[in-house]
Structure 1
Amino acid sequence: MDIGTILSVVGVAISGAALMVSFLALMRLLKLDRSGKFKELGEAIDQVHESRLASERKMSDRISKIEGALAHIPTADQMAALRHELTKAEAAIAGVNARIESFDDILRSHENRLSQIFEDALVKGRSERGKS
């Protein structure tokens, strides 16, 4: 017998053994299928899959809520612009406040003058009544 024939016989034997192992595995699977264990495993796999899908939906909802909240948070550029606008508003308010204070001084001066005029008129009116 030459080496080629020996290798052919060994190859056929290995192929036959592989075929036999495959056949035995198939028979085992059919036996498991008839016992209902595949059905139980399938149901367990389905439950795990449904649980994973539910978790993914919850996570997706949470991420959507977070993204929605983050959309309302101003950026650094927006905050800088807001600070700039607030500084301008403070300066404008300070200018208005200075004008109001100057008007307040003027109004107090006029109030004092009017009070003096009314007092003078009352004193003059009393003295004229006293003369009559």
Structure 2
Amino acid sequence: MNKVIIAVTAMLTGLIVSSSYANTDDARIAERLKPAASVCVEGDECKGVHVAGAAAPAASAGRSGEEIFNTTCTACHSTGAAGAPIVGNSEQWKKHIAKGMDTLHKHAIEGFNAMPAKGTCMSCSDEEIMATVDYMVGRSK
């Protein structure tokens, strides 16, 4: 009789332990398999989703040209990568500045040659990009 009780207890313990592992594994698997993104269709209520074509998220408002330069533009404009004029090098900037600020702003926003649109800062507003160009030009005259 004792052997039967011990065997039944062992089987029940094994079932309880294995089911708790299965639940943990299921949760981890579900977390790994969840979508990396979701689609939000205009007109649907989409909480926490930035709709393409809408104004930039509020989190990007108020960044200075210097801040954006230091986080986004410095990789190319401090090294000359892909032919980018180095900030502070007035000789390299002379021909760009001669085109006028409107042209520089337009090229920075829309992209030009190897310069990608907004320098890849898609969270930047046009005004922030223009402030960044103004900052770079101011340091390069």
| Fold shared per TM-score above 0.5 | no
Which structure has the bigger radius of gyration? 1
Normalization by structure 2: what TM-score?
0.29
**TM-score, normalized by length of structure 1?**
0.30
